[in-house]
Amino acid sequence: MAYMITEECIACGACEPECPAGAISEGDEIYAIDPQLCTDCGSCADVCPVDACVSKEK
């Protein structure tokens, strides 16, 4: 499993510094998670104010 960021993202940036794997980066409009780097720890989901970080299957 890996996490992904949905279009509900408000680009607040709260998730990026919380990712211990450095898998989150700022995209053009919303943030994105690199599934190759994601360790499925859930840190991003814990801090997301709009629940835009969700678990998905690889």
* pTM over cut 0.85: yes
C-alpha 29/C-alpha 23 separation (Å) is 17
Domain ranges for the chain? 2-56
What dihedral angle (degrees, nearest 10) is formed by the CA atoms of 16, 17, 19, 21?
Answer: 100
CATH classification number, 2-56, choose in 3.30.200.100, 3.40.50.720, 3.30.70.270, 3.30.70.20: 3.30.70.20
**Structure token pair of residue 27:** 């995209």
Cβ–Cβ < 8 Å for 58, 1 = yes
For residue range 1-58, list pLDDT tens digits in order.
799 999 999 999 999 999 999 999 999 999 999 999 999 999 999 999 999 999 986 4
